[in-house]
Structure 1
Amino acid sequence: MAETTIKEPAAKKPANPHIENAKNIFKRLKKNKAAMAGGILILFFILVAVIGPYFVPYTAAEQNVLNKLQGPSAEHWFGTDQLGRDIFSRIVHGMSITLYIGFFSVFIAAIFGVIIGIVAGYYGGKIDTILMRLMDVLLAFPGILLALAVVTILGASLNNVILAVAVFSVPAFARIVRGSTLAVKELEYIDAVRALGAGDSRIIFRHILPNVFSPIIVQATLRIATAILTAAGLSFLGLGAQPPKPEWGAMLSDGRNYIFEAGHVALFPGLAIVIVVLAFNIFGDGLRDALDPKMKS
């Protein structure tokens, strides 16, 4: 009689903890309808910034003085400005400038802020004191005032606005990362890794940085909204992107001269700024709740 062999079921491959953690974060994020709406709007804005200029009926600088200060119509959805330029087309073209300022300035600030925060928190002592006192000096100035001073010194241009916004955003990242680093470096497994002979660079990049990444992401998302507002404010004062670039703050500044005669010239750029900033703030708040360690299972 032939013996029958029973095959044991293959052992399941252990799930990647990083993938599982990401899934759990996304599940929590999906429960926040406002945050999901903000995230969808952000994706829509990015899409508009990338492909929108190819589909609008007019270029950003195309003028028709005979049609100046016309109200919204089927031909010009948002009306025209004082030079007869289509406001809807200019807002779409300006989307890429706005997001470029927001993302790139925050990216620069995050790099320097993370380096300063980790170095100060990990090494402590005089290094911590010197770096944090420098950050305190920067924090003593209102953000818009510090950015205004930087742009005034360097000159009015788009790149200088990005640099100015990055400068006043660095302390926010540095303080958050320093606080998280101080908490993580006191954990027992850090002492165990150090006892096994790991150097400072390995401990920082392999063990501390991944554990402080969540607050960095949240701060970056919220900081983009602040960067967009600050850049718009500088452009409103004539210190940001220079004509004929369709920057929303500059468009808002031009529209204030016609606010009673043709209110739409200032209304639509202002609404664009409000909606984009609101989307980043709502999404950032929801992301902060989703990444809250207290809510992790």
Structure 2
Amino acid sequence: MSEQTQTIDNPHSAIKPPNPRFRNWKIVYSKLRKNKAAMIGGSLILFFIIIAIVGPYFTPYQPQTQNIVNKLQSPSGEHWFGTDNYGRDIFSRVIHGMSITLYVGFSSVVLGATVGVFFGIISGYYGGTIDAIIMRIMDVLLAFPGILLALAIVSVLGGSLQNVIIAVAIFSVPVFARIVRGSTLGVKKLEYIDAMKALGASDFRIIFKHILPNVTSPIIVQATLNIATAVLTASGLSFLGLGAQPPTPEWGAMLADGRNYLYNAPHVALFPGLMIVAVVLAFNIFGDGLRDALDPKTKE
């Protein structure tokens, strides 16, 4: 039997058309490649993630090992970033702090996005009283600056890394909720949503199979930008003594330790501060490029 006959007898053996969603992401990637700044930011993020995963296994010293004899040494071949006031190797602490910082950033944003997307899509889809109640709660949360709201939450819950994640997630919720609500209001007016309702599809199916996939672009962009905000907020709380507690090698806490030695040993605060700037800048640059790439108004 010829191949042509097999294809006719079994139409499923024919070549399937490409997945339109896969093609859309290829278009997004092609746009992103043209933005050199975004590609640099994305490459830095990938580099930071790799360092956070494998870096702690290759550091020359343990991050909590003290050696008072070698305290406040300047950067050298033995200690690349120098040592702190307890003689601990700053390079090793910075590498270990990378995993802590990215863990806080990703965990808080994932938690805040999950809750915010749920409330935003429910609010936009059902409208009416449900929409009014949810949005007024979000307005109350948005009335407070993010860092002050996180500071108040951590003050009540107590200073710890887990409470920092909860605090950052809570002030991230209203941002995602409002973005998703606006996108949902636009998608639910489309004709195919009315067709699904006419066919008897349940609200659950319409929301999570037809509306949610069409509002993912702004969620991804906002999540990328929010990670930078989460890193800054978590570092700020640790700097104030409300985040990671000593001797945890968290960059904000390392900055707090180094502020007393800015004149005679500036390297103690310099390198943790540079790492915070690098991570925040990388996520902001990549987020801006991703926003432009996902904008349907921009041409390929």
TM-score normalised over the length of structure 1: 0.96
Match of 1:196 in 2: 199
Q: Counterpart of 1:208 in structure 2: which amino acid?
A: I
Report the counterpart of residue 153 of structure 2 in structure 1: 150
Q: Secondary structure at the match of 1:169?
A: helix
- Aligned 1:27-66 pairs, distance under 5 A: 27-66=30-69
Q: Which amino acid aligns with 2:235?
A: A
Name 1:87's counterpart in structure 2: 90
How many Å apart are 1:15 and its aligned residue? Answer: 1.0
Aligned length: 293
Q: Deviations for 1:212-265, whole angstroms, at most 9, x for unmatched residues?
A: 011100000000000000000000000000011000000001100000110010
Gap regions ≥5 residues in structure 1:
none
5+ residue gaps in structure 2? 8-13
Distance 1:198 1:6, change over 3 A: closer
Question: What is the alpha-carbon distance in structure 2 between the residues aligned to residue 285 and residue 199 of structure 1?
Answer: 36
Match for 2:56: what amino acid?
P
Deviating 4+ runs (over 6 angstroms): 5-8
Letter in 2 for 1:104: S
Partner of 1:16: 19
CA distance in 2, matches of 1:53, 1:242: 19
Taking the aligned partners of 1:23 and 1:112, their CA distance within structure 2 comes to 29
1:167 is the counterpart of 2:160: no
Matches within 5 A, 1:148-297: 148-295=151-298
**Identical positions, percent:** 73
Alpha-carbon separation, structure 2, partners of 1:61 and 1:193: 59
Q: CA deviation at 1:293?
A: 1.8
Q: 1:226 is matched by which residue type in structure 2? A: T
Q: 1:63 to 1:207 in 2, by over 3 A?
A: same
Task: State the TM-score, normalizing by the size of structure 2.
Answer: 0.95
2:101 maps to a residue whose letter is T
Partners of 2:270 and 2:258 in 1: CA distance: 8
DSSP-derived class of the 1:90 partner: helix
Deviation at 1:12?
A: 4.5
Report how far residue 7 of structure 1 moved.
6.5
1:68 is aligned, of 68, 71, 94, to 71
- The CA distance in 1 between the partners of 2:22 and 2:117, in whole Å, is 24
Equivalent of residue 108 in structure 1, options 101, 108, 111: 111
Partner-residue secondary structure (3-state), 2:265: coil
Deviation at 1:165, TM superposition (A): 0.3
Deviation for aligned residue 1:295: 2.6
- Cα separation, 2, equivalents of 1:183 and 1:296: 22
Q: Map Cα deviations across residues 54-104 of structure 1 (whole Å, 9 max, x no partner).
A: 111001101111111111101111110000000000000000000000000
CA distance, structure 1, for counterparts of residue 162 and residue 96 of structure 2: 18
2:297 aligns to what SS in structure 1? helix
Q: Distance in 1 between matches of 2:160 and 2:79?
A: 29
Task: Tell me how far 1:296 sits from its aligned partner.
Answer: 6.0
Instruction: Indicate the SS of the match to 1:198.
Output: coil
Shift of 1:13: 2.8
Q: CA deviation at 1:294?
A: 1.5
Q: Give the RMSD, CA atoms, in angstroms.
A: 1.6
